[in-house]
Amino acid sequence: MLPVAPDLDTLASERARLWEFARRSVHPTGGFAWLDDTGQPVLDRPVEAWVTCRMTHVAALEVLGGNGDARRELDHGVAALRTTLYDAEHGGWFAAVDVATGQPTVPEKRCYEHAFVLLAAASATAAGHPDGEALLADAVGVFEDRFWREDEGMAAESWDRAWTTLEDYRGANANMHTVEALLAVHDVTGEAVWLQRAERIVRRVVHEVARPAEWRLPEHFTSAWVAAPDYNRDSPADPFRPYGVTIGHLLEWSRLALHVRSAHLVRGQDAPQWLLEDAEGLFDAAVRDGWHVDGEDGFVYTVDFDGTPVVRTRLHWVLAEGIAAAWALGAATGEQGYLDWYAVWWDQAERRFIDRVDGSWRHELDEHHQPSTTVWTGKPDVYHAYQAALLPALRPAGSFAGSFLGPAS
């Protein structure tokens, strides 16, 4: 017998539980701190932009959902992006800052973090933050000047601090989060260019690269967008640039393709048929290559390009993205099979990942479901789990924040 999926009241309770855990991360020097396994902030660790941006985004969603108390955390996050993490000398945002000196601890200016600045700024704007529009304008300016490559229809990866040298590498991960951010910017501004750019990225990465490769998407490319399949073969468990095919990203790209589709449909526009077809293909491949494939329960982290498991660690965010993709496909197609997966994976979350003692979700387990730190330590992030618990409560839109807004004119 299949498990029963959580109802909307249960999902609301889960979001509230996650938020109460996450809000402990407010750092007294600015931004949001990394949280350990028990939810205590690690105050001597650098403040990282991606953590701060994701927390700011979640705070904005809390405000949009009616939690006025979350404006304190939203204010704190926006202020950090205006000051603590902002490079006043060269522009753009530092990836991480030493809390004692205020100096950057990562020399590069990376698209990954800048995509999350865009997302946080768009969500803050949607939530009515008084500095949201100014932050969004700054983030859009940096993105257009430094990262967007109109001739490629893709975003570049990283620069040195002074914006003089561009890295000879292109990554699918940074572009995936760029899609998420551009959809939010589109929902907030109503400007068609952001949806067009998001769709161009999805077309190139998913339709032109993943589809012909049996949906086994390479993550790493040269500056000419030639796949580099051996990249990080000697460092397969890298948290941001792992070797091989990342199962959770197949699920995330699947959901994002559906968000692009929704962004068209809610405005009365025709959506390309391939967006739905490719979302289904990615989802099926993630199940085929990732779910229970090593004889143990759960999703593996990565597989080789023939589908052989590489890193068998179970990560919470992979399961959360599976839950969200299953819900989105069920809603888009009306097919019960996707909703069955949705229920199965929520059951997996409850049995393996949701921590009723110390809070949040356990971020990493080994293949035998014992605590592990191969990829991550602590519980720095509720963004994936929070969004998985929010999506079924929202009306269709291009982005989470956009679901709370009417279509922009």
Q: What is the pLDDT of residues 335-394, one digit of tens each?
A: 999 999 999 999 999 999 999 999 999 999 999 999 999 998 999 999 999 999 999 999
The active-site residue out of 27, 186, 316, 384 is 384
pLDDT confidence of residue 17: 98
Q: How many CB atoms lie within 10 A of CB 172?
A: 23
Q: Compute the distance between CA of residue 368 and CA of residue 346 in angstroms, rounded to an integer.
A: 19
Q: Residue 2 — pLDDT band, cuts 50, 70, 90?
A: confident
Q: How far apart are CA 115 and CA 252, in angstroms?
A: 15
Give per-residue burial for 24-39: e unless 16+ CB within 10 Å, then b: ebbbeebbbbbbebeb
Q: Residue type for 120, please?
A: A
Q: What is the reported pLDDT for 407?
A: 56
Mean pLDDT (whole number) for 232-243: 94
- Which pLDDT does position 406 carry in this prediction? 74
The pLDDT tens digits for 284-322 are: 999 999 999 999 999 999 999 999 999 999 999 999 999
pLDDT at 104 over 80: yes
Q: What is the pLDDT of residues 20-60, one digit of tens each?
A: 999 999 999 999 999 999 999 999 999 999 999 999 999 99
Q: Tens digits of per-residue pLDDT, 54-97?
A: 999 999 999 999 999 999 999 999 999 999 999 999 999 999 99
pTM for the whole thing? Answer: 0.98
Could you confirm whether 249 is annotated as catalytic?
Answer: yes
- Which 3-state string (H, E, C) describes 366-384? CCCCCECCCCCCCCCCCHH
Torsion of CA 193, 198, 204, 210, to 10 degrees: -170
Model confidence band, residue 408 (pLDDT cutoffs 50, 70, 90)? very low
Confidence (pLDDT) at 391: 98
Per-position b or e across 367-379, b if 16+ CB within 10 A of its CB: beeeebebbbebb
Q: Which of 177, 249, 259, 363 is catalytic?
A: 249
* Among 386, 292, 276, 409, CA closest to 330: 276
* 316 noted as active-site residue: no
Taking 90 as the threshold, does the pLDDT of residue 112 lie above it? yes
